[in-house]
Amino acid sequence: MLTSIAAFEISHERGFLPLLDPLARLPKAFDAWETAALRLPKLLASDQVRRTIADLPPFPVEAISDCRERERAMVLLSYLGHAYVWGGPRPELILPARLAVPWYEIAESLGRPPVLSYSSYALHNFFRFDASREIECGNLALIQNFLGGIDEEWFILIHVEIERKAAPAIAVLHDCLDAAEAGEHKQLEILLSQVESSLSAIFATLRRMPEHCEPFIYYHRVRPYIHGWKNHPDIPDGVIYEGVKAYRGHPQQFRGETGAQSAIVPSLDAMLGVKHKEDELSAYLREMRTYMPPAHRAFIESLERRTPVRPFVQRAGRQPLTAAFNACVETLQAFRSLHLEYAASYIFRQAQTDEKNPHAVGTGGTPFMEYLKKHRDETAEHCVK
């Protein structure tokens, strides 16, 4: 079975990152909105964000002409939307129609909910200083910020580099399944070595997080703005999107931005055959797919419809193939272990001093420590003996 990854908006060079670098600014008709977004750090610092957004002219959705503009509009509206909700002493529970209606319309056109998700926070929110150089930290900066500063920049850009370095693995996942189905031991061994090399690269990138992102700053200055309005103690019923007819005036509950909305790990799990026991976490992870770009969601599902490589590796009983498979599982486990360590140091150990940033749940609204431990332990169980 030959599967074209291009059909899922994936490339060998960039993985799940967009094929073209994100658009940094919308056309002139959107200048007032772009100016507000550019000034967001100043507006938040001076408690002017809600007043400024309320005074903006109508957002001309009809002037959006292509996918890159839609994605830029989604970034802009998502940042302004979260700034509106969280940019005051208490969260604002009603989004004004001037913001809510275009946000809903753009989100609908992209197949994602009107809330800040990983796709807008990271995948479509970077630019390169030198377009001839690689997509990697040192050549990257964010297009859009909340407060700005090196900690916020670094936290997101590490994720952008991880997406880029995952590309060689993501590009061959269906090839791995093809090799297993065809009984091609040597070919699968070569492909799994490529996957493991890519996994090692993203692990090395994740290890760089503490270089410029300090736990205290992350917890108190970066994290508050990426919370959503589902399972959040300060917004128990959700947020009203004023003027959105489809919602009929009812509060809506959406999860906040989280790395669980990246398609990398679930895609790897699907190819390798790493299974997670059915529980609240499983339901949560399925829900997180609704926040992904539909094409990426479809890619994961295309992998899950096929038989993973693990049963073939078990039957084959070939030591080099088993070693290559186990190396992938062990590196994936190491990645999850490091993520767990960061969750502990960047969130769990930080004192709760900001009422709009509860440490009992993650930005996606989950008891994250319990879930991350479960992920790590279940991954380790899938090595072939």
For 141, counting Cβ atoms within 10 Å of its Cβ (0-12 exposed, 13-18 middle, 19+ buried), the class is middle
Write down the pLDDT at residue 280: 74
Mean pLDDT, the chain, integer? 93
Distance CA 197, CA 382 (A): 19
Out of 117-131, 139-153, 367-381, least confident range: 367-381
DSSP string, 144-157: --SS-SHHHHHHHH
pLDDT in tens, 293-329: 999 999 999 999 999 999 999 999 999 999 999 999 9
Compute the average pLDDT of residues 260-273. Answer: 97
Strand partners for 353: none
| Residue 268: pLDDT over 50 | yes
Among 321, 296, 45, 48, smallest CA distance to 179 is for 321
Domain boundaries, the chain: 17-380
In CATH terms, the fold of domain 17-380 is Methane Monooxygenase Hydroxylase; Chain G, domain 1 (1.20.58)
Compute the average pLDDT of residues 221-240. Answer: 94
Distance CA 115, CA 363 (A): 12
pLDDT in tens, 177-222: 999 999 999 999 999 999 999 999 999 999 999 999 999 999 999 9
Per-residue pLDDT band for 356 (boundaries 50, 70, 90) equals very low
Among 310, 289, 268, 260, smallest CA distance to 168 is for 268
Write down the pLDDT at residue 362: 57
Write down the pLDDT at residue 279: 75
pTM, two decimals, is 0.95
Among 138, 151, 143, smallest CA distance to 214 is for 151
Q: What percent of the chain has pLDDT over 70?
A: 94
Indicate the SS3 state at residue 141: strand
Indicate the SS3 state at residue 241: strand
